[in-house]
Amino acid sequence: MASVQDVFDMAIHLMDAQNESTGATRTTDTNEYALRTPNILNTLLDEVYPYSDTYPDLSDGTKTRPSLVSVTSLDDYLDLDYYICRNVLPYGLAWLLLTEENPQQSNLFCQTYLKNLNTAKSRLPSSGIESVEDVYGGGGGDNYLSRWGGIEYGWFGQW
């Protein structure tokens, strides 16, 4: 698990807003960002949570929607996997911190956030491959439909 501070640090470095001499992310220039960070992250948590490997398995028939506890400070920890904390949330945070201040850079962070979120979605474990029973028939016998594999292979094109 990563802390809100970890995500904040990564976002500040992406924005190139850290102290140039020490690399510190908590400076007088970034205090406003630090104050806004917990609330901004809370708006992103429900969007990213289903794509984290910490999301609970819902195959048991649970009807309750899983959600994360809201964060209130930079000291809180996020119950999300490291991919989400390192590659998705920092870009989302940087995007929303810079929306009014630097729209061009904010747009770049937004695009990267969405790309990385899609990557997280595509890497979800599959539920497995099941064979599908052909309830419509086709594939055997002497009639016209059987020779062509059934309706889905062009029968309606003959009309």
**152: pLDDT strictly greater than 70:** no
Rounded to whole angstroms, the maximal C-alpha distance in the chain is 83
The pLDDT-based confidence of 123 (bands split at 50, 70, 90) is: confident
The number of beta carbons lying within 10 Å of the beta carbon of residue 36 is 14
Query: Crossing angle of helices 31-48/89-97, nearest 10°?
Result: 130
pLDDT band at residue 115, thresholds of 50, 70 and 90? very high
Choice between 141 and 5, residue whose per-residue pLDDT is larger? 5
DSSP strand E in the chain: where? 2-3, 77-78
Of 94, 79, 88, residue with least CA distance to 17: 94
**Cβ-based neighbours of 17, under 8 Å, separated by 6 or more:** 25, 29, 30, 33
